[in-house]
Amino acid sequence: MFSATLITLFPEMFPGPLGLSLAGDALKRGLWALEAQDLRAHGLGRHRAVDDTPAGGGPGMVMRADVLAAALDAVPADRPRLLMSPRGSPLKQAQVREWAAGPGLVILCPRFEGVDERIIDARGLQEVSIGDYVLSGGEIAALAVLDACVRLIPGVMGKLESGSSESFEDGGLEYPHYTRPREWEGRAIPEVLLNGDHAKIARWRREQSERMTRERRPDLP
Protein backbone atom coordinates (compact mmCIF):
# COMPACT_ATOMS: atom_id res chain seq x y z
CA MET A 1 0.00 0.00 0.00
CA PHE A 2 1.17 3.51 -0.80
CA SER A 3 2.07 5.24 2.47
CA ALA A 4 3.13 8.87 2.80
CA THR A 5 5.00 10.37 5.74
CA LEU A 6 5.39 14.14 5.92
CA ILE A 7 8.00 15.81 8.13
CA THR A 8 6.81 19.34 8.73
CA LEU A 9 6.54 22.21 11.18
CA PHE A 10 2.82 22.36 10.38
CA PRO A 11 1.33 18.85 10.61
CA GLU A 12 -2.12 20.41 10.90
CA MET A 13 -1.89 21.27 7.18
CA PHE A 14 -2.46 17.58 6.40
CA PRO A 15 -4.42 15.88 5.01
CA GLY A 16 -5.89 19.23 3.94
CA PRO A 17 -7.28 18.89 0.40
CA LEU A 18 -6.05 15.31 0.31
CA GLY A 19 -8.83 14.50 2.76
CA LEU A 20 -11.46 15.48 0.18
CA SER A 21 -12.77 14.19 -3.14
CA LEU A 22 -11.10 11.13 -4.70
CA ALA A 23 -7.98 11.21 -2.52
CA GLY A 24 -10.01 11.64 0.66
CA ASP A 25 -12.38 8.82 -0.23
CA ALA A 26 -9.43 6.57 -1.02
CA LEU A 27 -7.82 7.51 2.30
CA LYS A 28 -10.99 6.51 4.17
CA ARG A 29 -11.16 3.24 2.23
CA GLY A 30 -7.58 2.39 3.16
CA LEU A 31 -6.19 2.52 -0.37
CA TRP A 32 -3.34 4.67 0.90
CA ALA A 33 -2.10 6.06 4.23
CA LEU A 34 -0.89 9.46 5.41
CA GLU A 35 1.06 10.49 8.50
CA ALA A 36 2.31 13.98 9.33
CA GLN A 37 5.26 14.10 11.75
CA ASP A 38 5.85 17.29 13.75
CA LEU A 39 9.48 18.37 13.28
CA ARG A 40 9.30 20.28 16.59
CA ALA A 41 9.25 16.93 18.40
CA HIS A 42 12.95 16.68 17.53
CA GLY A 43 13.76 20.33 18.24
CA LEU A 44 16.44 21.43 20.67
CA GLY A 45 16.14 23.13 24.04
CA ARG A 46 13.19 24.63 25.84
CA HIS A 47 11.86 26.24 22.66
CA ARG A 48 12.31 23.11 20.51
CA ALA A 49 14.52 25.02 18.06
CA VAL A 50 14.87 23.52 14.58
CA ASP A 51 16.91 26.26 12.89
CA ASP A 52 19.92 28.54 13.35
CA THR A 53 21.66 31.45 11.65
CA PRO A 54 23.37 30.75 8.29
CA ALA A 55 27.09 30.05 8.34
CA GLY A 56 28.90 32.91 6.65
CA GLY A 57 26.13 35.36 7.49
CA GLY A 58 23.11 36.49 5.54
CA PRO A 59 19.38 36.88 6.07
CA GLY A 60 16.96 34.33 7.44
CA MET A 61 17.49 31.05 9.20
CA VAL A 62 18.57 27.57 8.10
CA MET A 63 17.08 24.28 9.28
CA ARG A 64 19.63 22.30 11.29
CA ALA A 65 21.06 19.03 9.94
CA ASP A 66 21.04 17.33 13.35
CA VAL A 67 17.36 18.08 13.95
CA LEU A 68 16.36 16.98 10.46
CA ALA A 69 18.44 13.81 10.78
CA ALA A 70 16.71 12.91 14.04
CA ALA A 71 13.30 13.33 12.38
CA LEU A 72 14.26 11.31 9.29
CA ASP A 73 15.88 8.55 11.34
CA ALA A 74 12.64 8.12 13.29
CA VAL A 75 10.93 7.04 10.05
CA PRO A 76 11.74 3.66 8.43
CA ALA A 77 14.01 4.12 5.42
CA ASP A 78 11.84 1.90 3.23
CA ARG A 79 10.59 4.55 0.78
CA PRO A 80 12.12 7.29 -1.39
CA ARG A 81 12.94 10.40 0.64
CA LEU A 82 12.07 13.71 -1.00
CA LEU A 83 13.03 17.27 -0.14
CA MET A 84 10.69 19.83 -1.67
CA SER A 85 12.95 22.55 -3.08
CA PRO A 86 12.75 25.14 -5.90
CA ARG A 87 16.23 24.05 -6.99
CA GLY A 88 15.22 20.39 -7.29
CA SER A 89 14.53 18.34 -10.39
CA PRO A 90 11.23 19.31 -12.05
CA LEU A 91 8.38 16.97 -11.17
CA LYS A 92 7.46 14.81 -14.18
CA GLN A 93 4.51 12.52 -14.79
CA ALA A 94 6.75 9.52 -15.46
CA GLN A 95 8.32 9.95 -12.01
CA VAL A 96 4.88 10.37 -10.42
CA ARG A 97 3.69 7.12 -12.00
CA GLU A 98 6.78 5.30 -10.69
CA TRP A 99 6.22 6.57 -7.15
CA ALA A 100 2.50 5.76 -7.29
CA ALA A 101 3.34 2.14 -8.06
CA GLY A 102 5.77 1.92 -5.13
CA PRO A 103 5.46 1.68 -1.34
CA GLY A 104 5.06 5.43 -0.86
CA LEU A 105 7.15 8.47 0.02
CA VAL A 106 8.79 10.28 2.91
CA ILE A 107 8.65 14.01 2.21
CA LEU A 108 10.59 16.66 4.09
CA CYS A 109 8.89 20.06 3.96
CA PRO A 110 11.48 22.80 4.56
CA ARG A 111 10.87 26.33 5.80
CA PHE A 112 12.97 29.49 6.24
CA GLU A 113 15.98 29.74 3.88
CA GLY A 114 16.12 25.98 3.46
CA VAL A 115 18.10 23.14 5.00
CA ASP A 116 21.71 22.55 5.95
CA GLU A 117 23.24 21.13 2.76
CA ARG A 118 24.88 18.27 4.62
CA ILE A 119 21.56 16.55 5.38
CA ILE A 120 20.83 16.04 1.66
CA ASP A 121 23.73 13.70 0.97
CA ALA A 122 23.84 12.24 4.46
CA ARG A 123 20.25 10.95 4.25
CA GLY A 124 19.96 10.48 0.50
CA LEU A 125 17.30 13.13 -0.08
CA GLN A 126 15.98 13.65 -3.61
CA GLU A 127 15.30 17.33 -4.26
CA VAL A 128 12.06 17.90 -6.18
CA SER A 129 10.56 21.11 -7.56
CA ILE A 130 6.97 21.69 -8.74
CA GLY A 131 7.85 24.85 -10.66
CA ASP A 132 10.12 27.84 -11.13
CA TYR A 133 8.84 29.87 -8.21
CA VAL A 134 9.31 30.03 -4.44
CA LEU A 135 6.70 29.10 -1.84
CA SER A 136 6.67 29.88 1.89
CA GLY A 137 7.41 26.23 2.63
CA GLY A 138 7.37 22.73 1.24
CA GLU A 139 3.92 21.74 2.45
CA ILE A 140 1.93 22.99 -0.54
CA ALA A 141 4.44 21.40 -2.92
CA ALA A 142 4.17 18.13 -0.99
CA LEU A 143 0.39 18.22 -1.34
CA ALA A 144 0.79 18.57 -5.10
CA VAL A 145 3.18 15.61 -5.29
CA LEU A 146 0.91 13.38 -3.23
CA ASP A 147 -2.23 14.37 -5.14
CA ALA A 148 -0.48 13.49 -8.41
CA CYS A 149 0.53 10.10 -7.00
CA VAL A 150 -2.62 9.11 -5.16
CA ARG A 151 -4.95 9.58 -8.13
CA LEU A 152 -2.94 6.91 -9.99
CA ILE A 153 -3.33 4.27 -7.28
CA PRO A 154 -5.62 1.48 -8.56
CA GLY A 155 -9.16 1.97 -7.33
CA VAL A 156 -8.89 5.72 -6.71
CA MET A 157 -10.19 6.88 -10.10
CA GLY A 158 -13.32 5.36 -11.55
CA LYS A 159 -11.78 4.20 -14.85
CA LEU A 160 -8.20 3.06 -15.39
CA GLU A 161 -8.05 4.88 -18.72
CA SER A 162 -8.76 8.18 -16.94
CA GLY A 163 -5.11 8.30 -15.94
CA SER A 164 -3.63 7.00 -19.18
CA SER A 165 -4.99 9.53 -21.69
CA GLU A 166 -3.98 12.74 -19.92
CA SER A 167 -1.39 15.42 -20.51
CA PHE A 168 2.24 14.22 -20.27
CA GLU A 169 1.36 10.51 -20.26
CA ASP A 170 2.54 10.21 -23.87
CA GLY A 171 4.86 13.22 -23.75
CA GLY A 172 2.39 15.84 -24.99
CA LEU A 173 -0.65 17.82 -23.88
CA GLU A 174 -4.14 16.39 -23.73
CA TYR A 175 -6.71 17.09 -26.44
CA PRO A 176 -9.68 19.47 -25.80
CA HIS A 177 -12.87 18.18 -24.14
CA TYR A 178 -16.52 19.06 -24.75
CA THR A 179 -19.92 18.13 -23.31
CA ARG A 180 -23.57 19.24 -23.52
CA PRO A 181 -25.09 21.58 -24.51
CA ARG A 182 -24.27 20.94 -28.15
CA GLU A 183 -24.10 24.70 -28.78
CA TRP A 184 -23.27 27.33 -26.18
CA GLU A 185 -23.00 31.10 -26.76
CA GLY A 186 -22.65 30.49 -30.48
CA ARG A 187 -19.86 27.94 -30.01
CA ALA A 188 -20.57 24.42 -31.24
CA ILE A 189 -18.99 21.10 -30.34
CA PRO A 190 -16.76 19.99 -33.25
CA GLU A 191 -18.89 17.88 -35.56
CA VAL A 192 -16.32 15.08 -35.68
CA LEU A 193 -17.05 14.28 -32.03
CA LEU A 194 -20.74 13.77 -32.73
CA ASN A 195 -20.71 11.42 -35.72
CA GLY A 196 -19.86 8.20 -33.86
CA ASP A 197 -16.86 7.39 -36.06
CA HIS A 198 -14.34 6.34 -33.41
CA ALA A 199 -11.42 6.15 -35.82
CA LYS A 200 -11.99 9.75 -36.93
CA ILE A 201 -12.47 10.84 -33.32
CA ALA A 202 -9.17 9.22 -32.30
CA ARG A 203 -7.38 10.85 -35.23
CA TRP A 204 -8.88 14.28 -34.40
CA ARG A 205 -7.87 13.97 -30.76
CA ARG A 206 -4.33 12.98 -31.70
CA GLU A 207 -4.05 15.91 -34.10
CA GLN A 208 -5.42 18.35 -31.53
CA SER A 209 -3.01 17.03 -28.90
CA GLU A 210 -0.08 17.51 -31.26
CA ARG A 211 -1.25 21.02 -32.22
CA MET A 212 -1.68 22.17 -28.62
CA THR A 213 1.69 20.73 -27.66
CA ARG A 214 3.42 22.57 -30.52
CA GLU A 215 1.70 25.86 -29.66
CA ARG A 216 1.85 25.80 -25.89
CA ARG A 217 4.74 23.53 -24.90
CA PRO A 218 7.28 23.35 -27.75
CA ASP A 219 9.81 22.16 -25.17
CA LEU A 220 8.01 18.83 -24.91
CA PRO A 221 8.98 15.94 -27.23
pLDDT averaged per 10 residues in sequence order, the chain, 221 residues: 98 98 98 98 97 97 98 97 97 97 98 97 98 97 98 88 62 93 97 97 96 94 75
Strand arrangement, sheet containing 32-38? 32-38, 2-8, 104-108, 81-90, 126-129
Residue spans of the domains in the chain: they are 2-150, 165-216
**H-helix or E-strand spanning residue 201:** helix 198-216
Residues 15-28 as b or e (16 or more Cβ within 10 Å = b): bbebeeebbeebbe
Separation of alpha carbons 122 and 127, rounded Å: 13
Q: What is the pLDDT of residues 138-170, one digit of tens each?
A: 999 999 999 999 999 999 997 655 555 566 777
User: How confident is the model at residue 221, as a pLDDT?
Assistant: 75
Tell me which architecture the domain covering 2-150 has in CATH.
3-Layer(aba) Sandwich (3.40)
Fold of 165-216: Trp Operon Repressor; Chain A (1.10.1270)
